[in-house]
Amino acid sequence: MRGRSLRFILFLMVAVTLSALVYGYAFSNNNSFVGSSIDEQFPVPAEARKSDVPFSNPGVVYVRYNMKGIEEKESIPDFYANEIRKWGWKEDKEEQVGALRVFVKDGKTMNVTTHSGFFTLFTKKSTAVAGAPHTAVSKPQSPPKQ
């Protein structure tokens, strides 16, 4: 019986270690960001792929990005939240509800929701920057200046 519990503990330790390695690898290559398609001043991981999903609220600009490894229950990965802050956005924790995270900068508000395999950005139409360029910005470079 003791041998079984030892094997189980060993198996559990290996499983946890492998899970941590896989999770770390999934986010380890995220060293560049681009301006989002609705506001060039808001970063999006370069690996995220814009997905055309219709949205029917005329007062809101919405975009969906598919990205491997992102989960609703884990919210925004730390590397991404840190990059958002580096670009000058501050989190409004009072507005946070569930998977919704809210960031503000220079009177603009960007809402971020995470889901399994994708995340969404949305903002009021009046604050969106239409046709924002998609220029890659690597982490070592300075965030955009206003």
The two tokens of residue 31 are 């060293």
Q: Does residue 103 contact residue 76 with C-beta atoms inside 8 Å?
A: no
One digit per residue, pLDDT tens: the chain, 146 residues? Answer: 677 877 878 777 777 676 655 555 555 544 799 999 999 999 999 999 999 887 778 889 999 999 998 988 888 999 999 999 999 999 999 998 888 999 999 999 999 999 999 999 999 987 655 544 433 333 434 455 55
Cβ neighbours of 51 (radius 10 Å) = 12
pLDDT tens-digit map of 73-95: 888 999 999 999 999 999 999 99
pLDDT more than 90, % of the chain:
49
Domain ranges of the chain: 1-30, 32-138
110 Cβ contact list (under 8 Å, min separation 6) = 36, 39, 42, 89, 102, 103, 104, 121, 122, 123
The pLDDT score that the predictor gives to residue 20 is 59
Cβ neighbours of 2 (radius 10 Å) = 6
